[in-house]
Amino acid sequence: MTTPNTRTPNTRSPHPHLAASACVAALTLGTAAAAMDTDQAEWMLSQPEFRDATLVLDWSEAAVAAAILATRDGDGHASDGSFTAGDAPGVYRPTPPHEVAVGTGWAATEPFAMDAPDQFRPGPPPALDSARYAEDFAEVKRLGGQDSAERSEEQTHIGYWWAEYSTVGYPDFARAHIAENDTHLWPAARLFALLAVDNFDALVSAWDAKYEYRLWRPRTAIRNADDDGNPATSADPDWEPEMTTPPHPDYPAALSTLCAGGAEILKEGFGSDVAFTRVSGSAPEGMAETRDYDTLDAAVESCMSSRIYNGFHFRSGLEAGVEMGRDRAAHILETQLLRRSEADEVTFTD
């Protein structure tokens, strides 16, 4: 760590300093997720607005980064929560090849912007004996299985293409769009910070609800449908999803809440009708690596449906995730990194 520079840094905007802090924090944390933030911060530091990058970085090392890391010490994100799998109808149990559930500690993690992990917790999933449950069951059974005869080639591609999306998806798009449009550094830094806050709180809110409701995954539900008490469902003891199911409960879907929340944050910077192309790292050989979307909402719909096509989720959990994401993002935009005055308003094309 370098010796802090005692000169007063340029205070025209706090955003460049936050970007440098992200770089320092990423290097300090040393995790894969932090490395992603390092890429973002290093890109910002390469921009001409950083006339004295060394000064900014030194100042941030001594103050901002250390202060932020200190506030998150003991926030609970690395803790192990408690979970006991059950065998009652509807209750989540790990799916092969997984033997344990993951993410249990996130349910008790201190959020960045939300008042509490359950602030945007959705209502319960449809009852097992309900018509809605039977409808969701039939859809994922028909379109999400390994041997599905009804899933189209396009739907299969959507399922695989969105599979790699996590907290890297929208930051990747934002970086590309910012570079293509010569976005001013200040709103770019603010946008990345808002995305990071939403991504973190998305995981907290999703895992809070997942372990509150503990709904079984389609693989378990379809194989054990004779026990669900719904005459409109039928069991298939050999049913397998198109892709390996993640090791945590179904409801709500984490991917759809990440996609929906991130889209709302991006609308703040780019508008609702921005068209974009993204490259996916999870498209298998023979499938196109890129997909084009005319709007962010179209991308959210595609993102949500992908989890049906790969057999991961019931639609009700995906829709609940979208609603959570939009509500959470609205809260973040209303409460976090607010502009202090009209003088702070810098457009994304400056």
Amino acid at site 304: M
- Work out the average pLDDT over 282-310: 89
Q: What pLDDT score was predicted for residue 154?
A: 93
User: Which of 338-347 are b and which e, b meaning 16 or more Cβ less than 10 Å from the residue's Cβ?
Assistant: eeeeeeeebe
Kindly provide the b/e burial profile for residues 114-132, where b requires at least 16 CB atoms within 10 angstroms of the residue's own CB.
Answer: beebebbbbeebbebeeee
Q: How many residues does the chain have?
A: 350
Look at residue 256 and give its three-state secondary structure. helix
Q: Which residue has the higher pLDDT, 258 or 171?
A: 258
pLDDT at 52: 47
Render pLDDT for 239-278 as a digit per residue (tens, 0 to 9): 999 999 999 999 999 999 999 999 999 998 888 888 888 7
Query: What does each C-alpha distance from 347 to 198, 269, 313 come to in angstroms?
Result: 21, 8, 39
Q: What's the confidence (pLDDT) of residue 271?
A: 85
Strand partners, 215: 91
Per-residue CA distances from 49 to 25, 44, 45, 133, 134 (Å): 21, 9, 8, 54, 56
pTM exceeds cut of 0.85: no
Spell out the domains of the chain, with CATH numbers in brackets: 1-73 (no CATH), 83-344 (1.10.606.20)
In this prediction, residue 42 has a pLDDT band, given cuts at 50, 70 and 90, of low
Residue the block writes with tokens 């457009």: 347
